[in-house]
Structure 1
Amino acid sequence: MTASRFTAACVQMRSGRDVLANRDAAVALVREAAERGADFVQTPEMTSLVERERAALFDKVGPQDRDPTLAALREVARERGVVVQIGSVAVKEGNRIANRAFLVGADGDIMASYDKVHLFDVDLPNGESWRESATYTGGDRAVLAETPWGYLGMTICYDVRFAALYRALAENGASFLSAPACFTRQTGEAHWHVLHRARAIETGSFMISAAQGGLHEDGRETFGHSLIVDPWGRVLAEAGTEPGVILAEIDPGLVTDARSRIPTLKNARPFAVETVSAGSARRAASA
């Protein structure tokens, strides 16, 4: 690995219910990013299919080795000589589905895969209710993947709310972190930017996250705003809500600089949590 600069791209999509149409849209956007000079291209969570109906989802997805989006993007990576991070596709695992991300090398080989650890089981104030655990099986491992420019920590969407995951990835060598997403519009408006900037600042890492954006065929509305954030928390590139490509130059030297200026990874100390009741506090004060 070298510390050379490279150009990263986020592909923003509005995936629908047609797997092959979504595949073709992803292929076109990844090719566009490569033509504009990207060395590394990332697609969003659920690149291949955004479908909230469980029966329809199971009907439209298959095992990893027969996934048309994975196969097509492997070919594009090979054809254009770029590293492609597929934010995620749904792949069948028995009677469950894995929300799985892939890192594909410039030779088209799969370098790493990651199954989303934290599942989005929430009831939102606007009446939306999501139960990913009813359909998806959660992963149980963090993944640090080697790239030509340094190590990439692979996460997905809701993972971004769990700071310990990103700290662990950074402590183990990640210079670049990613949370490709299908964030709801409501939660994205409230938290998307601050969570990404916080994860970047806390770890002194780049955050690179492609997103789904807009009103989808299944009725959900996603926030968009794909982001590339530097280790000092500065937004280098941002999309709106429409499909397209954003790019930014990534200087791995900024990771070393940020971590030397604010060495939080080195300064952390172990600690215990002590619970003190009101009664015991009064007794201690009078002793």
Structure 2
Amino acid sequence: MKFAAVQMRSGMHPGANMDALEALVGEAAERGAHYVLTPEVTTVFAENAAQLREVAGPHEGDPYLARAAALAKTHGIHLHIGSQAVALADGRFANRSVLFGPDGSELAHYDKIHLFDAQISGLNAYRESETYAGGDTAVTAKIGDLTLGMAICYDMRFPALFNALAKAGAEMISVPAAFTVPTGQAHWHVLLRARAIETGSWVIAAAQGGTHENGRATYGHSLIIDPWGRIVAEMDDDAPGVILAEIDSEAVREARQRIPVLANERAFAVPE
């Protein structure tokens, strides 16, 4: 099967973002993709919660998810919206990843578990939890005979999630993201390769890239990594585009047989 990652430069206008997405998904489908992953905040890359409230509604009846479902059906592919904000009853949002099947049906969705709350020296505190509610459940789904595990951006810094997904049968793990440039330069490749190596899994990471309408700059460099940690496809810049790779579960079996980390793991006590 051919898997594709779409790199975008989403702005604050959902209609324009969906138009850009349709063109990129069409390109991926023409190149033979069976599965297409889009980045984090595909639908709208808003600057703050007030802007999100103007465009983000509940999951049910969401017009942008409906448009994505129709796009999956038109091309007969699995279309995985890396994430979009979904309004919740408490006034916050879920950062939600949604997978559609080739018939346009919704197969699974995942809410980003790990939220970035930090006080950075010299800067104002950044509290993602003020805008978003974190999820509490790891999610897998079937893509043909292959099992997909779902993560989003900051999740990649928490290997326990990837370990749990691999133990639940995931052979590929999706990581849609909107990484900043400094952290991307320092950590993007090494973290994603590590997650692939640790779990013996394929990793597919679709990124936002470039300078956005909200003033943010993201790193780009979308990646597809094999279970041995080799980068098999990469966008070498931050421009919108598509990467593809042939994916097979045999590579997973071979990697896990050669380095049986999941089988060799043991429980241990921690000193108090």
TM-score, scaled to structure 1: 0.91
1:27, 1:72 within 8 Å by CA — same for their partners in 2?
A: no
CA distance in 2, matches of 1:214, 1:128: 23
1:36-185 matched pairs, under 5 angstroms? 36-94=31-89, 95-124=91-120, 127=123, 129-185=125-181
Q: Deviations over 1:165-203 (max 9, x none)?
A: 000110110000111001111111110100000000000
Q: Which residue of 2 aligns with 1:226?
A: 222
Please state if 1:254 is matched with 2:251.
yes
Aligned to 2:46, what secondary structure does the other structure show? coil
Query: Which amino acid counterpart does residue 247 of structure 1 have in structure 2?
Result: L
Shift of 1:124: 4.6
Judge which range, 62-71 or 106-115, deviates more: 62-71
Query: Which amino acid counterpart does residue 133 of structure 2 have in structure 1?
Result: T
Query: Which amino acid counterpart does residue 78 of structure 1 have in structure 2?
Result: K
Q: Deviations over 1:104-139 (max 9, x none)?
A: 111100000000000122345684753210111110
CA distance in 2, matches of 1:85, 1:245: 14
Q: Which residue of 2 aligns with 1:265?
A: 262
CA distance in 2, matches of 1:81, 1:129: 44
Percent identical: 56
Shift of 1:152: 0.6
Aligned to 1:211, what secondary structure does the other structure show? coil
Instruction: Provide structure 1 residue ranges, at least 5 long, that are not aligned to the other structure.
Output: 1-5, 276-287
CA distance in 1, matches of 2:83, 2:226: 23
1:200, 1:206 within 8 Å by CA — same for their partners in 2?
A: yes
2:192 to 187, 190, 196: 196
> How many pairs were matched up?
270
Shift of 1:24: 1.0
1:226, 1:238 within 8 Å by CA — same for their partners in 2?
A: yes
CA distance in 2, matches of 1:67, 1:10: 23
Would the alpha carbon gap of residues 218 and 142 (structure 1) be closer, same or farther in structure 2, given more than 3 Å must change? same
Instruction: Provide structure 2 residue ranges, at least 5 long, that are not aligned to the other structure.
Output: none
Q: Deviations over 1:212-264 (max 9, x none)?
A: 00111111111111110000000011112000101111121100000000000
CA distance in 2, matches of 1:51, 1:185: 18
Judge which range, 69-78 or 187-196, deviates more: 69-78
CA distance in 2, matches of 1:252, 1:121: 36
1:19 to 14, 19, 22: 14
Structure 1 stretches of at least 4 aligned residues deviating more than 2 Å after TM superposition: 65-69, 122-130
CA distance in 2, matches of 1:149, 1:46: 28
Would the alpha carbon gap of residues 134 and 155 (structure 1) be closer, same or farther in structure 2, given more than 3 Å must change? same
Q: Which residue of 2 aligns with 1:285?
A: none
Q: Deviations over 1:133-177 (max 9, x none)?
A: 011111010001122031110110000000000001101100001
CA distance in 2, matches of 1:99, 1:134: 12
CA distance in 2, matches of 1:204, 1:218: 37
Query: Which amino acid counterpart does residue 63 of structure 1 have in structure 2?
Result: P
1:23, 1:68 within 8 Å by CA — same for their partners in 2?
A: no
Query: Which amino acid counterpart does residue 255 of structure 2 have in structure 1?
Result: A
Query: Which amino acid counterpart does residue 259 of structure 1 have in structure 2?
Result: R
Aligned to 1:182, what secondary structure does the other structure show? coil
Would the alpha carbon gap of residues 21 and 203 (structure 1) be closer, same or farther in structure 2, given more than 3 Å must change? same
CA distance in 2, matches of 1:48, 1:136: 16
The alignment's C-alpha RMSD in Å is 1.3
TM-score, scaled to structure 2: 0.96
1:171, 1:265 within 8 Å by CA — same for their partners in 2?
A: yes
CA distance in 2, matches of 1:11, 1:123: 32
Q: Greater CA radius of gyration, 1 or 2?
A: 1
Query: Which amino acid counterpart does residue 204 of structure 1 have in structure 2?
Result: G
CA distance in 2, matches of 1:112, 1:150: 14
